[in-house]
Structure 1
């Protein structure tokens, strides 16, 4: 069950039992990471809930917080359905590039197919921050280079205290 709130004519927020959510247990993991979650193919909100179940069962990560879910228009390639976006704050002991590969495997598990830039997708997982580090390699840039320009990140991010 979701509670829905219209922010403006383009943006709608959704609240459920797990979005937003704050864990009360301490994590044994070393690094805190902020992950942007998005998708616009199929039942995305249900997929977000399933993603949380998968993450809760995985010993390599702990869920610290989740944000509300934001429904917003696509950017880049605009001839597609609106996106749902959220933020996850996770703890992990994986190093950044290992964590990136972990997220890419999760995307694939949830049916992500990479066809072209900004294409419709079942699940998109982006590392926004990783333990206050700055990383600039060919396959990973942290902080995410465009996070501050995207309502789809900034509005949910404001709800997790970053």
Structure 2
């Protein structure tokens, strides 16, 4: 059974599991290590996770970029659970939460490999692909309009 939760960095068990997942899925494949990054920027973020048997199998975080504009970041799903709808369900759950908090828009810097996922879930690309110098990968700025959902 899948459980969806919202947590903060002070929820050490979930945050530690999420970091391990994010490092394995998002950083190691591009030759980076999440533990060498300044993670203090996440201290006020809201995190969302899908749990199976209290184990984080999908996660991402959100921060307020501006009034009524949320920014989604670090979306990772365990490879064995990808393409099963878990990420989409987690995203829908978070969108509902953000809507209740009166956010009107969600932005994401989507990797080229995740472009189709976000597009399938209602995000629209703004402009063309660009190079993310910090990570050394190509990204797309994509936006989801909550008010239109």
TM-score normalized by the length of structure 2: 0.36
Highest relative contact order (Cα 8 Å, sep 6+), 1 or 2?
1
Higher helix share: 2
TM-score normalized by the length of structure 1: 0.34
Higher strand share: 2
